[in-house]
Structure 1
Amino acid sequence: MRTMKNALLIALVVMLNINTGFAQNSKKVKKLSDDERMEWWRDAKFGMFIHWGAYSIIGGERDTKIAGGGAEWAMDKLDYTIKDYEKFPEMFNPQLFDADAWVSMAKNAGMKYIVLTSKHHEGFGLWDSKVSDYDVMDTSPFKRDIVKELSEACKKQDIVFCFYYSIVDWHHPQAQGNLYPNYNISQHDDPSVVNPEFPKYYENYMKPQVGELLKNYGEIGVVWFDGDWISDYTTEMGKDLYKYIREIQPNTIVNNRVDKGRTGMDGMDKEGNFAGDFGTPEQEIPDTGIDSDWEACMTMNGSWGYKPSDNKWKSSEDLIQKLVDIVSKGGNFLLNIGPDGYGRFPSESIRRLNAMGEWTQKNGEAVYGASASPYEKPSWGRYTKKDGVLYAHVFDWPKEGTLKLHKDIKIKKATVLTNSNTILKSIGTSREVLLDVPMLAPDTTVSVIKIELAD
């Protein structure tokens, strides 16, 4: 009798759990307008890109050879066969990986979102995929779901979690290899090279994997695609994929590489052609910005993936000025980190993150939520604007103690952003507005003057 009661109790608990789960899953998410959906991203301005995978073990080196360009392309650049390369995912065991520490470093640097490479061109996944065994849970000895740990750490620290997914896959047979002598021949976007198996890879592998990432790891801020250049991937696939993503998570943002690199809102450009939600200039800052939402992605040295031989690091001052330059043109800055195979950020990256954090902590008001400059670029730096306030970001501090502003700026009150107690005097001339500033720059990298505008 007791056994029967216990069985009935267990059945009741199971039914309650099923009903509760169904109720939660069936709860509809409010679909935001495009402007509402993009609002957090437009305000965030600064994010962290993380390129991490089995290539992080290699470091861009094979015997005496060093891969040219980014070390994340080691499989291709160092001429590994698919079979030879598979030993690296089988070795991937980053015991020093600490998701909370990674997110803390991003947050302390002033970054508001993180984009992790869930799967790069090598095809190795950093989550527990049921579609494939070529992932961190099945192939590697690590047996920890990296996407899960990082997404949970982001949620705890109020950082928006996003993922990158490569359309290119050098490992999957239907995406490349068994059809060509060179598994990466399609990277050249040669229309004469046709892969009849690619649609099967898209429908049965790529699309379901993207679905897993959207369904199993909470709210996703951005889905960031790459590899759109290959001839086998079509605009029709991009349209289908964009629609699929928005059906699962209606408020998720998708970059323009879901298609062939065009820009626009809600999947359409100004001519009504398919695109993505924002543009993605890579390793460059457009001279005048882009007439739509955009995000510049950039490395700290020359490589996206971990590459110890690459010592050409951008200075902290340069990176801070790049952040300001991008924001002044209406864009976001996605700055990359390439952790090593143990799960450590390079010390050079950490030092630069710390410097950027010190600056954004003092001057973030002039960055977050700011809009593009209404004026042409001044010789001494950049402008940003927000809520009736103009911010003058001074790269080259005037030695004579006079900052020359655009002549039609009407000042109500001007102060150094980090010292609101001292009001700066100004006088207008026929050619410019002259602002008296301290003889010594308040900040050694970028000093910010807060100008409250008169009505």
Structure 2
Amino acid sequence: MKKPAHLLLFTFLLTALFSCQPKKSEETAQDPEDHMEWWREARFGMFIHWGLYAIPAGEWNGTTNHAEWIRTTAKIPLEEYDQFLDEFNPVKFDADAWVKMAKDAGMKYIVITSKHHDGFGLFDSETSDYDVMATPFKRDILKELSEACKKAGIKLCFYHSIMDWHHPDYLPRREWEQNRSVEGAEFPRYVDYMKAQLKELITNYGELGVLWFDGEWEDTWTHADGVELYDYVRSLQPNIIINNRVDKGRQGMAGLTKEGDFVGDFGTPEQEIPAIGLPGVDWESCMTMNDHWGYNSHDDNWKSSEDLIRKLVDIASKGGNFLLNIGPKADGTFPQESIERLADIGDWMDVYSESVYGTQASPIAEVEWGRITQKKTENSTRIYLHVFDWPESGQLELEGLKGRLTKAGMLTNDFDKFRVDVDEKNQRYVVNLPDVAPNTIDEVLWLDFRE
């Protein structure tokens, strides 16, 4: 389907805007590129937002639109919010069960909030009393997850907030905290505290996959701070991957870094998927299953399993990763709606994961019936045709694919029942489909080409 002129112009401008890859600093530029290899292969991970904010479950004084930002959105005084420490006791938490659900869904890595903006840590920190060991639970959640991930072959990663609404040296205060003095507060001392916590996380929990920073947008955090922190983290674990939110320069929810000498290994679109592929740029769309990151018991606006599967495929077809969020409940369990969607995604991935893992962006323009991914070997390329909308004509028309077509087939479990014929003329291909789609969410066909 030919794109209208205004869309072509938008595509051109978007490509120019997002053409800048997050960069390494000069100090770490010599590090091998293969530290990103596992991440590019994975394509799919689980985000987990969990902390004290799960206890109010999104509700405060009759309002029900809160989640992990509740201390600020509900303007809760520090001493009142700190009372949640005495209530945090997730006795149903089972690290092995969490990791199993991620693995069964086809996820290759888990990114969990070691510390969100409220300053509370899910780990045993020697630098702070504001952590899980100060609660009735008194178990190091990250230690248990690290052990479960190691057994399951899942990469463990940590989200760590630069912003901290609890630490006395973090500046600025929230604008509504008029009774909380800033006298004696020293931001550099807070940075030292944050670096000490990061050293604990990097050295006490085995090899990590990613440090996923956030909360970098306030004026107290500078580009120089970002470069220094990037270098510091990489000095502790040279192969760790660090997102672009360690530095300034992120362009809002679009998540990609504007032109300039900014550090970070990948861009972070939030709650959205870039409209086009971004050649040469590593990026990861993080997204919620409903409307909140942390648990909100009133939020019933769940995305369907079909929508989430197609979002995963859409992202892979543009060369990105999908980081799909879970907001666990205060008792340590996942919401049932999340469990069901993970299971549905896992059922699809059991059959079709080959068309996601280790793939690159589509080699041709977007098609109206679905999406395309590809996987290259030394002398050949396998093209995966993800058919969302089974055409009434029974045919898919393709052009612009390079090489000599050698073979075609389907990934369905029932492939013996289906035959794929391809007519070729001057590098235009007509794929003749079976009458019925084996999978109505996304059936995948493949075409092999030799160079």
Normalised to the residue count of structure 2, the TM-score between the two structures is: 0.86
* RMSD of aligned Cα (Å): 2.3
Instruction: Please say if 1:247 is aligned against 2:235.
Output: yes
Query: 3-state SS of the aligned residue for 1:117?
Result: strand
Structure 2 CA distance for aligned equivalents of residues 407 and 224 of structure 1: 38
Instruction: Specify the alignment match of 1:350 in structure 2.
Output: 339
Structure 1 CA distance for aligned equivalents of residues 405 and 305 of structure 2: 32
Matches within 5 A, 1:425-440: 425-429=421-425, 432-440=428-436
Structure 2 CA distance for aligned equivalents of residues 272 and 384 of structure 1: 30
Question: Among residues 142, 159, 183, which one is paired with 1:164 in the alignment?
Answer: 159
Q: Deviations over 1:205-239 (max 9, x none)?
A: 11111111001000010000000111111111111
Q: 1:423 to 1:332 in 2, by over 3 A?
A: same
Instruction: Specify the alignment match of 2:22 in structure 1.
Output: none
Structure 2 CA distance for aligned equivalents of residues 33 and 133 of structure 1: 36
Query: 3-state SS of the aligned residue for 1:65?
Result: coil
Structure 2 CA distance for aligned equivalents of residues 184 and 304 of structure 1: 28
Q: Deviations over 1:367-417 (max 9, x none)?
A: 100111111000001110002100000110112321222254653211111
Q: 1:403 to 1:180 in 2, by over 3 A?
A: closer
Say if 1:414 and 1:452, in contact at 8 Å, map to a contact too: yes
State the AA in 1 paired with 2:46: M
Structure 1 CA distance for aligned equivalents of residues 91 and 178 of structure 2: 31
- Tell which structure's C-alpha radius of gyration is larger: 1
Q: 1:180 to 1:66 in 2, by over 3 A?
A: closer
State the AA in 2 paired with 1:357: G
Structure 2 CA distance for aligned equivalents of residues 89 and 77 of structure 1: 19
Structure 2 CA distance for aligned equivalents of residues 442 and 452 of structure 1: 21
Instruction: Specify the alignment match of 1:266 in structure 2.
Output: none
Question: Among residues 260, 267, 274, which one is paired with 2:248 in the alignment?
Answer: 260
State the AA in 2 paired with 1:302: D
Instruction: Specify the alignment match of 1:413 in structure 2.
Output: 407
Structure 2 CA distance for aligned equivalents of residues 33 and 247 of structure 1: 11
Structure 1 CA distance for aligned equivalents of residues 431 and 78 of structure 2: 63
Q: Shift of the alpha carbon at 1:439?
A: 1.0
Is there any run of 5+ residues in structure 2 with no aligned partner, and where? 1-28, 252-256
Matches within 5 A, 1:166-181: 166-176=161-171
Instruction: Please say if 1:80 is aligned against 2:68.
Output: no
Query: 3-state SS of the aligned residue for 1:311?
Result: coil
Say which structure, 1 or 2, has more relative contact order (CA 8 Å, 6+ apart): 2
Instruction: Specify the alignment match of 2:437 in structure 1.
Output: 441
Q: Shift of the alpha carbon at 1:180?
A: 6.2
Q: 1:446 to 1:195 in 2, by over 3 A?
A: farther
Instruction: Please say if 1:390 is aligned against 2:386.
Output: no
Say if 2:109 and 2:156, in contact at 8 Å, map to a contact too: yes
Question: Among residues 203, 215, 218, which one is paired with 2:206 in the alignment?
Answer: 218
Matches within 5 A, 1:49-448: 49-67=47-65, 71-137=67-133, 139-176=134-171, 182-183=176-177, 197-203=186-192, 205-262=193-250, 273-291=261-279, 292-387=281-376, 388-406=381-399, 408=401, 410-418=404-412, 419-421=414-416, 422-429=418-425, 432-448=428-444
Q: 1:320 to 1:184 in 2, by over 3 A?
A: farther
Q: 1:449 to 1:63 in 2, by over 3 A?
A: same
State the AA in 1 paired with 2:149: C
Q: Deviations over 1:54-98 (max 9, x none)?
A: 001111101311235xx1111111110000000112210000000
Is there any run of 5+ residues in structure 1 with no aligned partner, and where? 1-30, 186-192, 264-268
Say if 1:89 and 1:124, in contact at 8 Å, map to a contact too: no
Structure 1 CA distance for aligned equivalents of residues 122 and 229 of structure 2: 21
Aligned length: 408
Query: 3-state SS of the aligned residue for 2:391?
Result: coil
Instruction: Specify the alignment match of 2:7 in structure 1.
Output: none
Normalised to the residue count of structure 1, the TM-score between the two structures is: 0.85
Q: 1:221 to 1:180 in 2, by over 3 A?
A: closer
Deviates further, 168-177 or 291-300: 168-177
Say if 2:78 and 2:166, in contact at 8 Å, map to a contact too: yes
Matches within 5 A, 1:18-29: none
Q: Deviations over 1:342-384 (max 9, x none)?
A: 0010000011000100111100111100111111000001110
Q: 1:407 to 1:212 in 2, by over 3 A?
A: closer
Query: 3-state SS of the aligned residue for 2:93?
Result: coil
State the AA in 2 paired with 1:414: A
Structure 2 CA distance for aligned equivalents of residues 273 and 196 of structure 1: 30
Deviates further, 404-413 or 293-302: 404-413
Query: 3-state SS of the aligned residue for 1:72?
Result: coil
Q: Shift of the alpha carbon at 1:272?
A: 6.4
Structure 1 CA distance for aligned equivalents of residues 32 and 242 of structure 2: 12
Q: 1:32 to 1:341 in 2, by over 3 A?
A: farther
Identical residues among aligned pairs (%) = 54
Query: 3-state SS of the aligned residue for 1:61?
Result: coil
Deviates further, 289-298 or 404-413: 404-413
